[in-house]
């Protein structure tokens, strides 16, 4: 090896050693700072502002002056920046909305409104989901990223309206006492109707109730009429008894005439008069008790007494009635 080559290698080693020594000295002179919460300034580790704030120039290294982010701003890391970051704008005219309330410590994300999905991967605007018509239901409901996928309603289910999220509903099962009046389809439900037997039972019950009410009403009317007839019969019997005891008015008037013509006034007993009283016939102990009524004498049995030539004669009611009839014929 030549002398020049040896000299060149020696110089390279010396330069390398000098560089390494210089780097070591510089590293030893600088303090170790937290890269997440601190920064180095003039050989010192200074404190950063926390998330949700920005740094003002009025603070010190150990105690910085931090300002809270304004509305529609955020800061998601420790920072030395003087301004916060702007929140993205979710345009409602493009059917966009914020996924959740805005935060000052994190970036808000835009999403499609309910019933809409992104029109592209960039999701700059949203379009409405496709609707499934009657007889169809969603196989896969639409969400933020994809559209609705429709399928025909399977047997035993139906859908009667157009919608992107209305699932096919099972047919109604008719309860006891009902039967299927109209079968279901993929667009309409089963129609249940009451069985004829049910109608017949209801009709029989109604007829029995009506007949029962009619019988009760008839029984009440019959009992009320029976009571009225019974009261009328009692009144008639009492009237008939009274009529048998009292002589008829016409017969009584004829007897009065015959007695007045046949008996002289001198032979008729004169009633005795008392002060403030009326004439009362004297009692005859040996003969029957006689009562004077309307100028005629009656016994206790209701027979009439006639006098002829000063002789009293008691006639029964039957004899007096026959005599009255003979007198009327002679007249």
Q: Indicate the range of 6-15, 78-87, 157-166, 244-253 predicted with least confidence.
A: 244-253
* pTM strictly above 0.85: no
Whether the CB-CB separation of 99 and 108 falls below 8 Å is answered with yes
- 30-80: CATH topology: Tumor Necrosis Factor Receptor, subunit A; domain 2 (2.10.50)
Pairing of strands 136-140, 149-152: antiparallel
Strands (E), the chain: 38-41, 44-47, 53-56, 65-68, 73-74, 85-86, 96-98, 110-112, 116-118, 126-128, 136-140, 149-152, 157-158, 169-170, 178-182, 191-194, 290-293, 296-299, 304-308, 311-315
Where residue 96 falls among pLDDT bands split at 50, 70, 90?
very high
Where residue 102 falls among pLDDT bands split at 50, 70, 90?
confident
pLDDT at 321 over 70: no
Return mean pLDDT, the chain: 74
Pairing of strands 296-299, 290-293: antiparallel
Give the span between the Cα atoms of 50 and 78, in whole angstroms: 5
pLDDT at 36 over 70: yes
pLDDT for position 150: 95
pLDDT at 214 over 80: yes
pLDDT for position 43: 84
Query: In angstroms, what CA-CA distances link 57 with 47, 51, 60, 67, 83?
Result: 13, 17, 8, 11, 11
pLDDT at 322 over 50: no
**251: enclosing H helix or E strand:** helix 249-262
Instruction: Please enumerate in sequence order all residues whose Cβ is within 8 A of that of 136, keeping only pairs 6 or more positions apart, or say none.
Output: 150, 151, 152, 153, 159
Average pLDDT over residues 214-227: 81
The CA-based angle 45-49-52, given to 5 degrees, is 160
Whether the CB-CB separation of 97 and 82 falls below 8 Å is answered with no
- 288 compared with 51, residue with greater pLDDT: 51
- 25 compared with 182, residue with greater pLDDT: 182
Average pLDDT over residues 276-295: 46
Average pLDDT over residues 270-296: 46
pLDDT at 320 over 60: no
pLDDT at 157 over 70: yes
Give the span between the Cα atoms of 220 and 208, in whole angstroms: 18
User: Which residue's entry shows tokens 């029984």?
Assistant: 219
Domain map (residue ranges) of the chain? 30-80, 247-271+287-330
Q: What are phi and psi of 185, to 5 degrees?
A: -140, -175
Average pLDDT over residues 189-200: 77
Where residue 19 falls among pLDDT bands split at 50, 70, 90?
confident
Q: Indicate the range of 5-9, 13-17, 45-49, 77-81 predicted with least confidence.
A: 5-9
Average pLDDT over residues 289-300: 50
pLDDT for position 70: 93
């Amino acid at each position: 090896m030549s002398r020049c080559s040896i000299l060149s290698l020696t110089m390279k080693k010396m330069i390398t050693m000098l560089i390494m020594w210089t780097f070591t000295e510089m590293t030893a002179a600088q303090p170790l700072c937290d890269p997440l919460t601190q920064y180095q300034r003039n050989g010192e580790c200074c404190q950063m502002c926390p998330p949700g704030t920005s740094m003002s120039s009025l603070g010190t290294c150990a105690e910085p002056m931090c300002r809270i982010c304004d509305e529609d701003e955020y800061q998601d890391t420790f920072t030395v920046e003087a301004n916060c970051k702007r929140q993205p704008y979710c345009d409602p005219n493009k059917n966009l909305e914020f996924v959740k309330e805005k935060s000052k410590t994190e970036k808000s994300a835009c999403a499609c409104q309910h019933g809409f999905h992104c029109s592209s991967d960039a999701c700059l605007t949203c379009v409405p989901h496709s609707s499934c018509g009657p007889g169809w239901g969603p196989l896969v409901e639409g969400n933020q990223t994809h559209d609705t996928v429709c399928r025909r309603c399977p047997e035993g289910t139906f859908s009667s309206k157009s919608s992107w999220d209305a699932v096919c509903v099972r047919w109604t099962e008719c309860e006891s006492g009902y039967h299927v009046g109209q079968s279901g389809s993929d667009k309409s439900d089963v129609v249940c109707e009451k069985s004829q037997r049910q109608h017949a039972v209801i009709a029989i019950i109604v007829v029995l109730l009506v007949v029962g009410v009619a019988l009760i009403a008839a029984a009440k009317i019959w009992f009320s009429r029976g009571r009225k007839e019974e009261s009328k019969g009692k009144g008639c019997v009492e009237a008939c008894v009274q009529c048998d005891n009292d002589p008829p008015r016409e017969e009584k008037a004829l007897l009065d005439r015959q007695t007045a013509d046949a008996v002289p006034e001198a032979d008729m007993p004169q009633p005795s008069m008392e002060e403030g009283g009326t004439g009362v016939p004297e009692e005859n102990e040996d003969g029957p008790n006689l009562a004077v009524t309307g100028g005629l004498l009656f016994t206790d049995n209701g027979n009439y007494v006639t006098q002829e030539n000063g002789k009293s004669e008691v006639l029964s009611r039957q004899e007096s009635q026959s005599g009255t009839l003979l007198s009327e014929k002679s007249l």
